A = this chain, B = another copy of it.
Amino acid sequence: MTAQTTADNRPTWVIIGGGNGGQSLAGHLAIMGLRVRLYDIFPETIDAIREAGGIQVEGAVAGFGNLELATTDIREAVAGADIVMVVAPAVAHREIAAACAPHLADNQVIFIHPGATGGALEFKKVLSDRNCKAAITLAEAESLLYACRCPKPGHAVIFGIKNELMVAALPAADTPRVVNLLDAAFPQIHAGANVLETSLSNANAMMHPAPTLLNTSLIESEHDWLYYWDGVTPSIGAFVEALDEERRAVAEAFGLKLPGILEWYRVHYGAVGNTLSEAVKRNQAYAEVKGQKTLHTRYLLEDIPTGLVPMALLGRIAGVEVARIETVIKLGEFLIGKDFTASGRNLENLGLAGMTIGEIQGYIETG
C-alpha cells in the first residue's frame, strides 16, 4: 500500500485530534489553500464540522477553512494522506499510534505536534509492536505552534503564533526532509538535533506540575486566581528554576545544550526578569490565563506521565541527579492517586529498555 497520488501537487494533511490545537491547525492549513482532513473520536465534534464544511478561524489568522473530510474513521482519515499530524493530548498518543498502525503507508510523514517528552519514541515503539512495516517518517515538535482555543466545534480562535518551533525526526537523519516538507506551511519550523532535543525542550513539564501542586490550596479555595501571575510566586519560581537545571543537566548528558527556562521566556515571549517569578509576571500573554479549580487537569494528568516521568528516567540512565523531578512526580502520584511511573512513558514503552546512553544516542540518530 502506498500513499495515494493526487491529481494536483498539493500535499494532503490529516489532523488527528479535533481539540483546540487540531481545529486551529486544520482551519489555518485550509485557509492557506492546502488539502486538509480532520479526524476525531467524538462524533459530535466531527458532525458539527462536517455540517459547517470546515472551520471558521479568527484572531491572528482569519477566514474560513474548507476541509476535504471530517471523519471518525481512522482508516478513511489516514488513507492517502501525505502528512499525518497528531495534535492530541500526549496521553492519547499511544492509542492513536495503535489505531493508525494498520493503515499507514510508505512515504507518509507522521508529525506529532507536540510530542511532549518521548512522543516520537513511543509512537515508533507502538508501530513496531504492531508490526507496522510501512516506510513512514516520524517527527515531533517541541511544543504547540499556537496559543488557541475552540469555543465550539468548527470555530477556532488563534490568540498567538510562536516565532519559532523546533522539530526533529526519529531517526534524526530524516529531520531535513521533514523540515523541508513542513516549512512550506510553517516557516517558523526549524530543525532540532534529534528527538531528545525536542523532547527535553518540553517547557510544560517545568511550568505545569510543580506550580500546580504548590498551588493546591489555592486551586481548592474560593479564590479566582491567575495561573502564572498568582501561581508562580517567588519560592515556586525558584523551585522551578532549580527543576529546570535538572532538565538541562539531563540534556547535557545526552550532548545537548538547551537554553534555561528564563531564556526560553525571553525568546518565545520577549519576557525578561531576573527570576522566573518576575519573567512570567512580565509576560502579557499570561494576563488572562486563569488558574484551575481542580487538581485533575492535564497539568498533572498529562505533564507528569508524558513529561517528568520520561525526563527522570533519562536522567537515571545518564546518572544525573533528578531528585526534584522525582519529588514532583511522587507528590503528584500521591495527590492524584495514580502511579504515573507505571502508566506513563517509561523506558519500556519508549523502546529504550536496557539501552546504555550510547545505544540511545545511536538509536535516535540512525534508528
Contact = CB atoms under 8 A, between A and B. Distances in A.
Interface of A: 211, 213-221, 223, 225, 230-231, 233-236, 239, 242, 295, 323-324, 327, 330-331, 334-335
Contacts of A327: 327, 330-331, 334
17 contacts: A213-B214, A214-B214, A214-B216, A214-B217, A217-B225, A217-B233, A217-B236, A218-B218, A220-B236, A223-B223, A235-B295, A235-B335, A323-B330, A323-B334, A324-B334, A327-B331, A331-B331
Contacts of A223: 223
Interface secondary structure of A, over-half rule: helix
The residue among A219, A236, A334 with the most chain B CB atoms within 10 A of its own CB is A334
A242 B336 CA distance: 12
A51 to B, nearest CB: 41
Contacts of A239: 334-335
Contact of A235 (B211, B220, B230): B220
A217 B214 CA distance: 6
A216 B323 CA distance: 20
Given A211-B217, A217-B217, A323-B334, 20 more contacts: A213-B214, A215-B216, A215-B217, A216-B233, A216-B236, A217-B218, A217-B233, A217-B236, A218-B218, A218-B221, A219-B233, A220-B233, A220-B235, A221-B233, A223-B223, A239-B334, A239-B335, A323-B330, A327-B330, A331-B331
A117 to B, nearest CB: 21
Contacts of A234: 220
A218 B231 CA distance: 9
A259 B225 CA distance: 38
A295 B236 CA distance: 11
Contact of A230 (B211, B213, B221): B221
Nearest to A232: B217
A80 to B, nearest CB: 48
Nearest to A222: B230
A301 to B, nearest CB: 14
A280 to B, nearest CB: 13
Nearest to A329: B327
Contacts of A334: 239, 242, 323-324, 327
A34 B211 CA distance: 53
A297 to B, nearest CB: 13
A246 to B, nearest CB: 11
Going nearest first, the 4 A-B pairs with the smallest beta carbon separation are A220-B233, A214-B216, A215-B217, A327-B330
A231 B214 contact: no
A295 B234 CA distance: 11
A223 B327 CA distance: 27
A242 B331 CA distance: 12
Contacts of A330: 323, 327
The residue among A216, A220, A231, A334 with the most chain B CB atoms within 10 A of its own CB is A216
Nearest to A212: B217
A76 B335 CA distance: 52
Contacts of A221: 218, 230, 233
Contacts of A331: 327, 331
A295 B238 CA distance: 13
A231 to B, nearest CB: 6
Nearest to A294: B235
A230 B242 contact: no
A149 to B, nearest CB: 25
Contacts of A235: 216, 220, 295, 335
